[in-house]
Structure 1
C-alpha cells in the first residue's frame, strides 16, 4: 500500500539520529582545535625560552643594563692649558721681490748664476759687452785732461798778470779778464769730471749684480741677447724668502683681543699647515695688523712673519693658518673622540657607564675643553660608544694593544705569503700571474693547505698539478 503522506511516523526517528551524529562531530572538532592551541602555546613558550638562553650559551653579548659587557676604549679627563685658535686661509708672500734688469743696453756676454740658487746682495749675476762704454770713458777722461791743462795755464797767466799789476805795469781790466778765464776753465773741468764719472758708472752697469739677497727664479734672457733697461721680464727675478710673510684675514670679533695682546707686548704665535692640515709647515708670529676692516667680509688682515730657515716655504704657496689669540690655563679637557652630541659616557667604578651632558669649549688639536659633571682623572669612552646606553656594562680594552696585535697578525700573514710565493716554481708563478683575484686567493689557499699537510716539497709538486 502506498504510504500515507499525512503519516510522519518514520521522519522523527531519522532526524534525531542525524542530530546526534552532528553533535559528536562538533565535539571532536573542538577537541582538535583545543589541542592545536595548547601545542602552539607550548611551542611559543619553548621558542622564547630558547632564544633568551641562546646568546648566553653562545657567548654573544647582549647590550643594555642587564646584558653582557660591551668592550670599549677610554681616555682620561685632564686639566691642561688650551690654546684659543683662529683658523684662516692664507697665501705666502715674499718679503721683497726684485726684477733684475740691465741698466744699460748691450749684448749679454756671460751669465754668472744658476737658476734657483740663493744669492747675496751685490753678487755678480751677468755681464754685458762693455767695449763701447770703455771707449766713452776714455774719451771723457781725455777731454778732462785737456781742460785741466788749459786751466793750469790760465792760472799761471793770472799769477803773472797780478804780479805786473802790483808794479803798476798792466791794466786792471786785463787782470780781471784773465781771472774770469780761470773761472771759466774751472767750470769746464768740473763738467768734464762729471762726464768721466757718468761714463765710469755706465761701464760699471755692464756688470749686473743682485739688488737684494734671495732666491733666483728662472732665466729670462740668454747669452747673445741684446738687453735693454726697458725689458719687461728683465734677466731674472729674485724673491726674498728668509724671512717670508703671509697675509690672512680674521673676523673682526677677535680684533679687540689681538690689539690688547699686541699692546701688552705679547707674542701671538701663528702656525702654518698644509692643505690637508696633517703636516705643520712652520711656526711664526704676528708682525702687523691692517689699518682698516674690510666692510664686505667683516674681517681684518693680519700679517705674520716666518724665519723659513730651511727654505721650504715658497711665495704664493697656499697654507692653512692657525692664529693663537689667547690661552686658557688649567681647564678640564677630554679627547675629541669622546664627544657625541655634546655628551660623553663616563666609566664608573662598577663597570657601567653614565651619560654626562657637557658644555663644549675650545678645541685644541685632539683635546677639547669642557664644562660639566666631570672630575680630573675620570675616564670617558672614546671608542665603542655606538651601542651604549646609560647604565650599560662595559669592559675596557687597550686600543693600542689591539691595534698592535692586528698589525702583528697582518705582518705575520704577509711574511707567510711571501715565503710561500718564494718557493713557487717559474711555471707556478706564470700560472698565478694569469689568474683573477678570487682565483688567485683560492690557489694560494690550496698551496698553503697542501704545504701544511705534506710539507714544502710535496706542496710544490701537488700545486703543479692544479
Structure 2
C-alpha cells in the first residue's frame, strides 16, 4: 500500500488530472481575455480623433464656399441743402457792468431802501447815512460865502468911488491901486468859499446812495443802525447789470481769418448760447467785438457776444456753449452725420451701388446736429447709416429702410420757432 501510495503520489505530481488541467487553463486565459477590450476602446478613441481632424478642414472649406453674408442696413439719400458753418466754443456769461458801492463818508446807516434780489433802475435810492454832520458843514460853508460876498460888494463900491476921485485928483493914485487889488483878493476869497460849499454839498450827497445803473441787487450786506466808514474795504451793496448781458468765449486762431473777413464787411454775426449739454438753446445774440491780440499760451482769441436777455435766462458767470455762425453754405451735399466714418484722419462713407457697397473718401466741411456737409459724393447718393461692423468694400447688403433727415436750415428754423427767438 505504501508503494501504492507512493506511486499514486508520484503519479499525481507528474501528471495532472483532467479537473486540474481545466482550472489551470482558466487561470492562464483570464488576462488574455481582458487585452482585446482595452485594445477595442483605444481603437475607438483613435478613430474618433481621426474623424474630427478629418472633418475640420471640410467644415472650414464648406463655410468658405458658402459665400459672404448679406448685411442688413438702414440707409439715407444725400441731398442738396443749406447748412450753417459754425464755430463752437466754451464761454462764460459776463455782465456789461458790475458796480460795488462803498461808503465815502463816516456815519450811521439810517435806512435801507432795497430788498435782496430786487431789480433797480438808475437813480433809485438804496441806502441813507445820517446827514446831519454834513448838513452842518454845508451851512457853515454857505455862511462864510455869504459874508465874503458882502465884503467883496463893499470893496467894489469903494473901488467905484476911488475911480471917480482919482479922476478928479482928489485921492492919490496909490490909494486907488490898493483898493483895486483888494477887490481882487476878495473875489478870490469868494471863489474859495464857493468851492467849500460845493465840497460840502458833495459830502452831503454821499449820505444818500442811489443806483448808478439798471440791474439786480445782490444779497444784503448792511443793515440799519450799522456805522460805516470812508475807505472801508467791504462794499455796502453790489449791483449787476443783466440786460443786456455778454458772453465771452475763446476761439481758435485758425478760425480768426474767416470771422475777421465777415467783421470787415460790417456783418453782424449771430451767436447762440446753449446749456452745458448743448441740447437747449438759452438765447440768441450777435457778435459784439473781439480782442486785439492772440493768447500765446492757448492759441485762442477772446470774443464777446451781446444778448438782450429779456427773459433773464443768462446769469452772470454761467457756463455756456457758444455757437458762432460764420457763414451759411448754400446748396451743399448733406448726409447724416452717422454715415461719415473715419480711418485715422481720413473721412469716408460707404456708397450703395446696386446691392453692394464701396468706400468713397469725402471731406467733411461742417456738422450741425446730426447733419454733415461733405464733398466727394453727389446728391442722390445712397449711403448706409447702420451696420458698419459688417461692411467692407464689396459687401453685399440689403436695405431695410431709408432714413429721412432735415437740412441744416430747416433744423435752424425749427429751433428758432421752438425757442421763440430769431437771429
- Does 2:376 match 1:375? no
Over aligned residues, Cα RMSD in angstroms?
A: 3.4
User: Tell me, which stretches of 5 or more residues in structure 1 are unaligned?
Assistant: 1-28, 49-62, 401-466
Deviations 1:289-337 (A, max 9, x none): 2222222222222222222222221221111222233332111111223
Q: TM-score, normalised by structure 2?
A: 0.70
Which residue number in structure 1 is paired with residue 141 of structure 2?
A: 140
How far did residue 381 of structure 1 move? 4.3
Which residue number in structure 1 is paired with residue 398 of structure 2? 393
Q: What SS does the aligned partner of 2:146 have?
A: helix
CA positional deviation for 1:134:
0.8
In the alignment, is the contact (CA less than 8 A) between 1:75 and 1:381 conserved in 2?
A: yes
2:112 touches 2:127 (CA, 8 Å); kept in 1?
yes
Q: Choose 258-267 or 355-364, whichever is displaced more.
A: 355-364
Residues 148-169 of structure 1, C-alpha deviations (whole Å, 9 max, x = no match): 2222333333334444444544
Q: Given the two structures, how large is their TM-score scaled by the length of structure 1?
A: 0.64
Distance in structure 1 (CA, Å) of the matches to 2:351 and 2:229: 76
Per chain length, whose mean CA-contact separation is higher, i.e. which structure has more relative contact order (CA < 8 Å, sep 6+)?
Answer: 2
CA separation of 1:386 and 1:230: change in aligned 2, threshold 3 A:
same
Equivalents in 2 of 1:236, 1:271: separation in Å?
32
Residue equivalent to 2:331:
330
Structure-to-structure mapping, 1:13-32, within 5 angstroms: none
Aligned equivalent of 1:464: none
CA separation of 1:347 and 1:157: change in aligned 2, threshold 3 A = same
Indicate whether 1:364 and 2:368 are aligned.
yes
Residue 317 (str. 1) matches residue 299 (str. 2):
no
- The 5 Å alignment of 1:102-121 reads 102-121=103-122
C-alpha separation in 2, matches of 1:274 and 1:331: 28
How far, CA to CA, are the matches of 1:293 and 1:162 in structure 2?
73
Q: Does 1:289 align with 2:294?
A: no
Distance, in Å, in 1 between the alignment partners of 2:332 and 2:171 is 105
Alignment of 1:153-302 (within 5 A): 153-302=154-303
Q: Hey, what's the Cα distance between the residues in 1 that align with 2:171 and 2:399?
A: 128
**Preserved contact between residue 76 and residue 404 of structure 2 (Cα < 8 Å):** no
C-alpha distance 266-110 of structure 1, shift in aligned 2 (>3 A): same
Q: Number of residues paired by the alignment?
A: 342
Structure 2 CA distance for partners of 1:396 and 1:182, relative to 1, 3 Å: closer
Alignment partner of 2:139: what SS?
A: helix
**1:98 to 2:99 alignment:** yes
Give how far 1:346 is off: 5.7
**CA displacement at 1:364 relative to structure 2:** 1.4
Q: What are structure 2's unaligned runs of at least 5 residues?
A: 1-39, 60-67, 406-423
